[in-house]
Structure 1
Amino acid sequence: MKRMVLGLLLAVASLRCHAAVYYITVAGLGGEPDYEQRFTANAKDLDKVYHGAAAAHVVTLTGNDATRAKLTDVLNDVARNAKPEDDLVLILIGHGSFDGEEYKFNLVGPDLSATELATLLDKIPVKRQLVVNTTSASGGSVVALQRQGRAVITATKTGTEKNATAFARYWLQAMQDPAADTDKSGSVSAMEAFVYADRKTAEFYSSQKRLATEHPVFEDTGKGEAVRTITQGSREGALLSTLTVLRLDGGNAAIANDPAHQALLTKKEELERKIDQLKYEKAAMEPGEYKQALTAALLDLAKVQQEMEK
C-alpha cells in the first residue's frame, strides 16, 4: 500500500513538472499618452519575464492588438490546446469601468465585460486558473469571474474604486524582485506576489501622503466575498499559495539578482511615482508647467525602459 501511495505521489509530481503555463497579458486602452506608455511598458516587461520561464506559452497584447476580438481568439486557441494539468495566468492591465451591475475591461474598440471573459475562460480545460485584474474598478469583476479552480486578484475591493491604479507595476515588480520569494523556495507563488504588490501599493499612497484609492483583494474558493488577508480557519488563499507564477531560475534569476537591473527598477519606480504626483497636482499647476514637467518625466521613463529591455 505504501508503495502504491508513493507511486501515485510521484506520478502527480511528474505530471505537474511537465505541465505547461499559459501566460496571457493584455494592456488595454490608456486614453492618455502617459497611461498608454506605462500600460504597454508593464505588459512588455511581463512578457520578457514570462519568456524566461520553462514550459511557458506567452501571448502579450498591446496597442492596436489589444482588442476584444484578438483576446477572444487567444483564449479560444488556449481552450483548443491546453490540457487540464496546465496552468493559466491572465493579467489585465489598464482601465476598467463598473456601472453598478457589470464590470468592463477597456480595450481598443468594444470593451469586454467580466461575464464575457468568464464565458471564454470556462471553455478552457485548465483546472488551475489565475486572473489578475489590475485595472480601475476591477473589484466589480470578482463575482462574474469566480469559479472553483480559478483564483481572482483585483486591484480594487469594489467596482466603485474608479481611479487609475498602481497595483499593476507592483505585481510586475514581484516578478523581478527576489524579495518577493519570502519562503526562499526559488519560485514566487501567486500569494507571495499578491502580498508583495499589496504592501508596495500601500507604501506608494503613504509616501505621497494621499488617501488610498485602491485596496487589492483576492478570492480563490469560487464563492463568497473577496478578502485582503488570509484568516485562520479560512479556505481562502489555498489555491494562490500553491499556484506558482514564476520560477526564479536560469535567466529570470540572473535578471532578478543583477544589481544594475535592480537600480533601474528603483529609478523606474521613482519616475512612475513622480508622474503620479504630477497628475495628482495637475489642478494646482499652470497648464504649460504641467505639460513640460510631465513630458520630461515620460521621456526619462522611456529611457529607463529602453535600458531595461537591453
Structure 2
Amino acid sequence: MAAQLRALPTARYRKEDIHVTTILDEDATRANILGTLQTLSKRIRPTDDFILFIAGHGELLQGGRYAILMHDYDGRTDEVDNFIGKQEIIGAHRIMTALQRIPALSQTIILDTCHAGGVMDSLITDLYNARMSTLARRMGMHIYASASSMERALDGHKGNGLFTHTLLEGLRNNLEADRDNDKKVSVVEWGRFAKEKTAAIAKTLNHKQDPTIINFGRDRVVYELR
C-alpha cells in the first residue's frame, strides 16, 4: 500500500514524508502490534495522515464480538469472555482504544480480514462517545472493512486479498475512481470504488463479499490524476 502511494507522481504525499512501519507473520503478535501503535502515538502529529492497514484473519467470537487473530491463535472460539484479554487476539474495542491515542486528525483504518464488518458496532460506539467534540467534528475517520460481519473475505486474488487488490487498483491513476470528475481521487471515492469493485468481482467468482465502508468527518485528496 505504501509502495503504491509512493509511486503516484502527483500524490498528496512526498516520498520522504511517507513513514512505514511493517509487522509481518510471526512478528504480528498482540504485544508487537499494540506496542507499535503506542510508540507511533508519541511520534505522530495532529496534522499527519495516519493509515492502519491490517491483512490477516478475523473471526466473530461468541456474542458477535469481532477479533483480529494473531499469528499464534490456537483456533478456539469458546468462552468469549476469556478471550478478550488473551495474547493471541485483538478485539475491536482494544483497536479503538489504541486509535484514540493517535493524535492524527486524519485516520484511515483498513481491515482485510473475514468478518471485518463486525468491527463497526464497537468502533462507531466508541467514536461517538470519545471523539464527538469540536475537534473531532473536524477530523476525518475512514473505516474500510473488507466484508460484512457475516461474510468471509476472499484471499489469494492476484497476489493479495480481493479487497486489498481493489484498493490498490484505485490508487493506480484510476479514472473510474474519480467519481466527481475533478481529476482527483479522495479517500471517500477510493473506498466507494473498492467496495463496488470487490462486490462485482466476488460475484463473478460465485461469492458474496460486500465491504463495509464508514466515512466520518472530513474527506481528503489521496492523489491527483495524471
What's the TM-score once normalised by structure 1's chain length?
A: 0.53
Alignment of 1:87 with 2:49, yes or no, is: yes
2: distance between equivalents of 1:65 and 1:176? 30
Structure 2 residue aligned with 1:126 = 104
Equivalences, count: 183
2: distance between equivalents of 1:94 and 1:187? 30
Higher helix share: 1
CA deviation map 1:61-101 (0-9, x unaligned): 22233222222222112210111122211112122001233
Matching residue within 50, 60, 74 for 2:5: 50
2: distance between equivalents of 1:164 and 1:172? 15
| Structure 1 unaligned residues grouped into runs of 5+ | 1-45, 222-237, 254-310
Measure how far apart 1:115 and its partner are: 1.2
Structure 1 residue aligned with 2:77 = none
Measure how far apart 1:57 and its partner are: 1.7
CA deviation map 1:23-44 (0-9, x unaligned): xxxxxxxxxxxxxxxxxxxxxx
Residue correspondence of structure 1 range 235-246 to structure 2 within 5 A: 239=218, 242-244=219-221, 246=222
Measure how far apart 1:103 and its partner are: 0.9
Structure 2 residue aligned with 1:16 = none
Structure 2 residue aligned with 1:181 = 178
Please tell me the residue identity of whatever aligns with 1:118.
Answer: M
Please tell me the residue identity of whatever aligns with 2:144.
Answer: I
Paired residues of 2:58 and 2:114 also in contact (CA < 8 A): yes
Matching residue within 132, 151, 165 for 1:161: 151
**With CA pairs under 8 Å and 6+ residues apart, which has the higher RCO, 1 or 2?**
2
Measure how far apart 1:205 and its partner are: 2.5
Please tell me the residue identity of whatever aligns with 1:134.
Answer: D
Alignment of 1:102 with 2:56, yes or no, is: no
Residue correspondence of structure 1 range 1-310 to structure 2 within 5 A: 46-52=1-7, 53-54=13-14, 55-99=17-61, 100-109=63-72, 110-146=88-124, 147=127, 148=131, 149=139, 150-157=141-148, 159-164=149-154, 166-179=162-175, 180-183=177-180, 185=182, 187-208=184-205, 210-212=206-208, 214-221=209-216, 239=218, 242-244=219-221, 246-248=222-224
| Structure 2 unaligned residues grouped into runs of 5+ | 8-12, 73-87, 132-138, 156-161
Cα-Cα RMSD: 2.3
Change (3 A) 1:63 1:176: farther
Higher strand share: 2
What's the TM-score once normalised by structure 2's chain length?
A: 0.71
